[in-house]
Amino acid sequence: MLQLRPNCECCDTDLPADASNALICSFECTFCQTCAAQRFGGRCPNCGGNLVARPVRPASLLQRYPASRERVLKAHDS
């Protein structure tokens, strides 16, 4: 199950579970659309994989399967 991390790991923008601007790679690295496009050209700076739209978990399932609360923030060279 996806972690649905709560923030962009580059700029720390909040990305709640229903965020339409959250992108992930196959390792669940999470970025906002702005960082993904403008800083990384659509590629994950950690693994080099492509970044795709993160699925939205239905609100009815968030209580049983909550989004992660762990914020990940790393220094990334552009």
42-51: average pLDDT:
96
Give me the percent of the chain exceeding a pLDDT of 90.
91
> Using CB atoms within 10 A of its CB, is residue 76 exposed (0-12), middle (13-18) or buried (19+)?
middle
48-76: average pLDDT:
94
Give me the percent of the chain exceeding a pLDDT of 70.
97
30 pLDDT above the threshold of 60 = yes
Residue type at position 74? K
Number of other residues whose CB lies within 10 A of the CB of residue 60: 7
52 pLDDT above the threshold of 60 = yes
